[in-house]
Structure 1
Amino acid sequence: MTMDLGPIKKAMDLLKRATVRMLSFSPWVFLPPFFSVFTAAGLLLVYFVALQDGRILPLGSNYSGIPASIYPPYISIAGNSPPASCIFSEVMNLSAFMGFIIAVLRYVQVKKHRLDKQWLNIVSLAVFCIACFGMTLVGNFQLFSEEEIHNMGTFMTFGLGTLFCWMQSVITLRVNIKNEGRLAGLIRFLLSGCVTLCMILDFSLMPLALHTQASQVQWSLVMFFLLFIGTFAIEFRHDRFTAVCLEDSDRLGNQLDAFHEVSTYLPDTL
């Protein structure tokens, strides 16, 4: 009696192909979701530390009739006083650095796939770099001690961050990497709309002293934005970003060729 090993061999072959396909993904695919998870976890840690320290109220509580020493759970207020402020500064600095790296890699990727309007790609890079700088201002200049600088950083982060979301949504449709532009673009347009709506609601509710609702909207705004950045993993899995180190040369032509190779050589992976 013999056993038919055909189905087993076929299943093993499919598993092998799936494993090779999975391992062929660019390792940079993990950077956008890591940025999102790290930043969200860090901000939640700041929130719980401030809550445990008695600085802020829980997100679901009513702010009316609360002593003046306890504040609504805005992100900036949660990260205003030590020890939460120390964690807040560290999280914002590291997140700003990772965000800058993601912006540069995205710029190089779009450049390689030849966007028809390159100025859109350049402006998008500049906008998000400034937004990342704004994140460092928010993290290092606390609200109650340096309010003007902190608020300027908040405007740079939220305002330019929202503009970046819309620009990248348009770029996604125009570039259409690996024919995934429509799906990824739809997701990003929806997230951009959520970010914009939350930002409008946040700045509308605060003057009305609706601090409970405004703080909840602010946290939602940040989470939608982090989800948006995490979607760059969709395209990052297709490209490997390679840096080339060469010996110094007296010939300017060799230096220009090396620079061109670094900025444009991005081999596709399946």
Structure 2
Amino acid sequence: WGYLYLLPVFLALWAIAGIWIVFGIAVINRTVDLKKGFPYISFCGSYPPQSCIFSQVLNMGAAMAAWICIVRYHQLRDWGVKTWHNQLILWSGLLCVLGTSIVGNFQETNQKPTHLAGAFLAFVLGNLYFWLQLFLSWWMKVLPQPGPRWMGPLRLTLCSLTTILIVAMTVLHSRTLRSASAACEWAVAMLLFSLFGLLAVDFSRLNSCVLCPRPRPELRGPPPALGSQAL
């Protein structure tokens, strides 16, 4: 699999650098006025020209994250994880990916309900994606645990912080403390991207996995007779 294990790291660096670049452009062209408070990520990417960059960053990030979720699904399958457990993890990850793409393409100023639905999928389902994997590693003790021993506690800490910050973001927003809520939103995004980046540790074991398509049993025809010739 070569350097596929670096894909999660590239995703994390791409997304983190991309949204901070969008923030910088918004500040420079005065779309965002920091004197009025700290902005939400979405507000920074709502107006051109940075809205174009924002969409491109999230779309490419979503594409990479979808591939990561699919590879992770196959890896867990080859490690012996039951199908319905594995599919639950996969679909939570893919719904997070869908939400990320929606956030990038439906700006808050144009389609606020759609944008908020995408943000819910991206943040809440993204957090769930990593919680499910943590629970799986705790429940199935026989699963491989790549990386140093502190990797598990680190992931637990990041997932816990993400959950706390999502709740804090919602509560602060409802109380119109928008700057504090926005700061929580930025922290949640950084944590989720970092959790995706940590999957590089698991993907370093891809040389022990076999990823291949499996035809359905009913599509498998009888083997050709020896010496037969195609007409």
TM-score bucket (shorter structure): 0.7 to 0.9
Match of residue 199 from structure 1 = 166
TM-score of the superposed pair, with normalisation by structure 1:
0.73
Q: Deviations over 1:42-80 (max 9, x none)?
A: 00011001111111134xx563xxxxxxxx410000000
Amino acid corresponding to residue 121 of structure 1 in structure 2? N
Q: Which segments of 5 or more consecutive residues in structure 2 lack a partner in the other structure?
A: 223-231
Match of residue 52 from structure 1 = 28
Match of residue 13 from structure 1 = none
1:238 and 2:214 matched = no
Question: 2:198 and 2:143 mapped to 1: Cα distance?
Answer: 14
Cα RMSD for the two superposed structures: 2.3
Question: 1:78 and 1:161 mapped to 2: Cα distance?
Answer: 21
Question: Which structure has the larger Rg over C-alpha atoms?
Answer: 1
1:144 and 2:109 matched = yes
Alignment of 1:31-110 (within 5 A): 31-58=7-34, 63=37, 72-110=38-76
Question: 2:204 and 2:68 mapped to 1: Cα distance?
Answer: 13
Question: 1:36 and 1:171 mapped to 2: Cα distance?
Answer: 23
Question: 2:79 and 2:211 mapped to 1: Cα distance?
Answer: 18
Contact 1:26 1:237 (8 Å CA) reproduced = no
1:111 and 2:77 matched = yes
Contact 1:26 1:239 (8 Å CA) reproduced = no
Cα 1:113/1:156, change in 2 over 3 Å:
same
Q: 2:5 aligns with which of 20, 26, 29?
A: 29
Q: Which segments of 5 or more consecutive residues in structure 1 lack a partner in the other structure?
A: 1-24, 64-71, 246-250, 256-270
Question: 1:75 and 1:137 mapped to 2: Cα distance?
Answer: 14
Aligned residue pairs, count: 215
Q: Deviations over 1:147-191 (max 9, x none)?
A: 111111111111111111200112234353156585432221111
Higher RCO (Cα < 8 Å, 6 or more apart): 2
Q: CA deviation at 1:209?
A: 1.7
1:131 and 2:107 matched = no
Contact 2:146 2:205 (8 Å CA) reproduced = no
Q: CA deviation at 1:252?
A: 3.9
The farther-off stretch of 233-242 and 36-45 is: 233-242
Q: CA deviation at 1:26?
A: 4.5
Amino acid corresponding to residue 58 of structure 2 in structure 1? M
Q: Deviations over 1:10-43 (max 9, x none)?
A: xxxxxxxxxxxxxxx8411101110000000000
Contact 1:172 1:184 (8 Å CA) reproduced = no
Contact 2:8 2:196 (8 Å CA) reproduced = yes
TM-score of the superposed pair, with normalisation by structure 2:
0.85
Question: 1:244 and 1:238 mapped to 2: Cα distance?
Answer: 16
Question: 1:254 and 1:49 mapped to 2: Cα distance?
Answer: 59
Match of residue 154 from structure 1 = 119
Question: 2:148 and 2:84 mapped to 1: Cα distance?
Answer: 19
Q: CA deviation at 1:85?
A: 0.5
Contact 1:205 1:213 (8 Å CA) reproduced = yes
